[in-house]
Amino acid sequence: MAFNAEHQAEMQAEAEEARRNTEHIRHQILVMSGKGGVGKSSIAANLAVWLSMQGNKVGLLDVDIHGPSVPKLLGLEGRKPVSGPNGIAPIVFSESLHVMSIGFLIADQNEAVIWRGPMKHHLIRQFVCEVAWGELDYLIVDCPPGTGEEPLSIVQLLKKAEGAVVVTTPNQLAIADVKKCITFCRRLDLPVLGIIDNMDGFVCSHCNQRTDIFQAGGGERLATEFAAPYLGSVPIDPEMVWAADSGKPFIGTTRQTAGWRALRDVFKPLLALDKETGIHSKEHRTMRIAIPLFEGKLSQHFGHCEQFAIIDTDGQAGGIAKREDVTPPPHEPGVLPRWLAGMHVNVIIAGGMGQRAQQLFTQSGIEVVVGAGAESPESLVAAYLNRALKTGANLCNH
């Protein structure tokens, strides 16, 4: 028990340290993938460059400990960070884009980084808490593929992260792993800002004819299945490959190929985050949240609920605008997801819910949060809006 209390105190201290060092960063976006080799780092680097080209001050943090690609992609190999009065100074790519990666700390680029979890977490904590990021409009975080220790560490440290951009390729092998990535985000209450289908076909630069290398549309179908925004697709472009190998950001080149235009188009929706009522911000979005009730509190078994508390949030004030308790129709497979979708519910917060029910809600465009405690609807919604909702085991996981 003493160990758990000590560990909890340490985590809280880290979170507070991270909050202080990043409080002047307006938007924090993670770039993730479920599988390696889908071009995630290239998307992250080009996104950071493009945002800086729009007049924003941007930081790019590479937390891929075992395979850092950002220094190569931006032509920054061989650069070394130095400590200053405000902390570790990030590497300057341009006046409006600063970068940090373990790639800047490795003397021999051919040497493998063989670290266990605590060492990786310590380095990521340093990158978040001790690098002098200063005032930024955007911090873009390039995460390693999968759902392991590094993504978990960065999500726990960046409590106010806006959400994740998930990169996939259209083939089913990548899609299967990316589904786990989306589940990871939702379990940690990290919004999925959008899905990008990378390497989606090849467009010939001479005749402009498109050839599908993989089965087309995999990312778009994935977005539909998980009710996540679809940002678009980017075709294979030989010039993008050349730019990456040359250490020159492709989005910064002057020749506007089909791949260049596709990159610009998938990045554009993320500028909506800069609006006061950004479409992805829980604090500034009017939502309708459903809470299954038993004896006035959240029902720990979804199928046993007596009523639903339907709560409307106030998009401007960021609180609760109205609550209405309603009696649901008889519980039969597929009935409640359709019923709540018809009432324009965006989110359901549950204690326990079976996998099939979760899937049906997701297909109806309703975000599912499971493992919440038996508290009052108002306290659950307030915690959800503040991204402080604590969830445990799903008691009805069948």
Per-residue pLDDT of the chain (398 residues; tens, 9 = 90+): 444 667 667 777 888 898 899 999 999 999 999 888 899 999 999 999 999 998 899 999 999 988 899 999 999 999 999 988 889 999 999 989 999 999 998 877 777 777 777 898 999 999 999 999 999 999 999 999 888 888 899 998 998 899 999 999 988 888 888 899 999 998 888 999 999 999 887 877 677 677 777 777 788 888 888 888 999 999 988 888 888 898 988 998 756 788 888 999 999 888 877 654 333 444 445 678 999 998 888 887 777 788 999 999 875 556 788 899 999 888 777 788 888 888 888 788 988 887 778 777 766 667 778 888 888 889 888 888 876 777 776 666 54
The model's pTM: 0.68
363-370 CB contacts, 8 Å cutoff, 24+ apart: 363/225, 363/227, 363/337, 364/227, 364/337, 364/338, 364/340, 365/227, 365/341, 366/227, 366/290, 366/337, 366/340, 366/341, 367/186, 367/227, 368/186, 369/186, 369/189, 370/394
The b-or-e profile of 316-343 (16+ CB within 10 A means b, else e) is: eeeebeeeeeeebeeeeeeebbebbbee
pLDDT for the residue numbered 220: 87
Domains of the chain: 2-274 (3.40.50.300), 283-385 (3.30.420.130)
Q: Which two tokens stand for residue 251?
A: 């989005």
For Cα atoms 31, 188, 325, give the angle at the middle one, nearest 5 degrees. 125
